[in-house]
Amino acid sequence: MDDRLTERLKLAEAHYRDLEAELSKPEVASDVEQARRLGQELAQYEPLVKTYREYQTALGEIETLKELWRDADDETRAWIDQELEGWRARLEALEHEARVLLLPRDPNDAKNVIVEIRGGAGGEEAALFAADLFRMYTRFAERRGWRTEVMSANYTDIGGIKEIIFMVEGRGAFSQLKYERGVHRVQRVPVTEASGRIHTSTVTVAVLPEAEEVEVEIDPDDLRIETMRSGGAGGQHVNKTESAVRITHLPTGIVVSCQDEKSQHKNREKAMRVLRARLKAYYDTQAAERVASERRSQVGTGDRSERIRTYNFPQGRVTDHRVGYTTHRLEEVLDGDLDELIEVLVAKEQEERLKRMAAGE
């Protein structure tokens, strides 16, 4: 471990001890907000400090074994050499782990997310696969102990989804689901296909970090809020009361609609949460086209040639084209077991960032 890395780890451990001392003060413990903030910061440093302390322990074990080796017989030295090999491998792994933990954190990683799924090319089959992806993400959230809440949905007559917007609430949700944004391609025989031909369809997925009210200031005068009767699947409430809400942010032209709840107040609240997330994406990019550019970078056009991942049913495989990784666990993936794919993507991103850091970029 080089001196620069060692110094950064020492500073992190010292800061961690300072946070522990601060949290132990009675006046801090009685201040709920301050205690929460310091507790969150402590939790962020904990993995790094744990890794550094394990590294120090490994160094100590190696020094002890070296001392034993000097006075040992040949048989004992052979055993010590094996132990040293294991501890040195552990040192190398811990150093890599420390470098990864020291990479700059995405400030959005700990946030809840708003996921938007839309059928792309493929008509009804695309809508059916959009429903499959929605189930996949809700099952993934269940596995993580996260909560999901539908904000707005537009279903087809046979159970497909033209468009659905939903919230995933749970610490670190964005850090995992951000890799899902883009075009997902499916290859299978549609239930609507009588001849048994394999079709290729696409679904677009956008993932936005939830924005807090303090992060995005919205002037009420900049909003045009309209109410209308809900549409969609049948039911006694549909088309009888004006519970659906459409909010237009006049300066940017962003439009958000919500009709999932029977209460106009609840629909408005959900629409505002989606609007804040979209405005945050808009302001964060600061690109010429702003929100249009940001959303295209996530979902593309929905054309079949664009894709981040392909789900091939005849071969039972899923391929992520960003890293060239294939798994033949299609059923498990669609049941929400995304860990394998996400881990590969995280490792690839970390590898690229470490290379850029080493190159001084």
Q: Rounded distance, CA 33 to CA 240, Å?
A: 44
Q: Was domain 3-101 assigned CATH 1.10.510?
A: no
Token representation of residue 16: 């961690």
Fold of the domain built from segment(s) 220-285: Double Stranded RNA Binding Domain (3.30.160)
Query: What average pLDDT score do residues 344-352 get?
Result: 89
Whole-number pLDDT of residue 303: 54
Question: Per-residue pLDDT tens for 231-275?
Answer: 654 444 444 567 889 999 999 899 998 887 778 888 888 899 899
Least confident of 20-24, 88-92, 228-232: 228-232
Burial (CB < 10 A; 0-12, 13-18, 19+), residue 144, is middle
Mean pLDDT of the chain: 86
In the chain, where the domains are located: 3-101, 113-214+291-358, 220-285
What CA–CA distance (Å, rounded) separates 134 from 19? 41
pTM, full prediction = 0.72
Residue 156, pLDDT > 50, answer yes
Most confidently predicted of 131-135, 218-222, 303-307: 131-135
Reading the block at residue 109, the tokens are 């990683």
Asked if residue 61 has pLDDT above 50, the reply is: yes
Contact by Cβ (8 Å): 187, 312: yes
Helix (H) or strand (E) holding 150: strand 147-155
Is residue 339 left, alpha or beta, with left meaning phi > 0 and alpha meaning psi from -120 to 50? Answer: alpha
Structure confidence by residue, pLDDT tens digits, 66-88: 999 999 999 999 999 999 999 99
How would you label 164-194 residue by residue, b for 16+ Cβ within 10 Å and e otherwise? Answer: bbbbbebeebbbbbbbbbbbbbbbbebeeee
Q: Which of 175-184, 249-258, 288-297 has the lowest mean pLDDT?
A: 288-297
How many Å apart are CA 102 and CA 100, to the nearest integer? Answer: 5
Backbone φ and ψ for 27, nearest 5 degrees, come out as: -70, -30
CATH architecture, domain defined by 113-214+291-358: 2-Layer Sandwich (3.30)
Residue found by looking up tokens 């904990």 in the block: 46
Distance CA 343, CA 97 (A): 14
60-70: b or e for each residue (b if 16 or more CB lie within 10 Å)? ebbeebeeeee
Choose among 113, 115, 120: nearest CA to 183. Answer: 120
What is the per-residue pLDDT for 357? 74
Distances (CA, A) of 79 to 60, 61, 293, 315: 18, 14, 61, 48
Quick one: residue 184, left, alpha or beta (phi over 0 = left, psi -120 to 50 = alpha)?
beta
- Long-range CB contacts for residues 304-307, cutoff 8 Å, separation at least 24: 304/121, 304/122, 304/185, 304/200, 304/201, 304/202, 306/182, 306/183, 306/202, 307/182, 307/183, 307/184, 307/185, 307/202
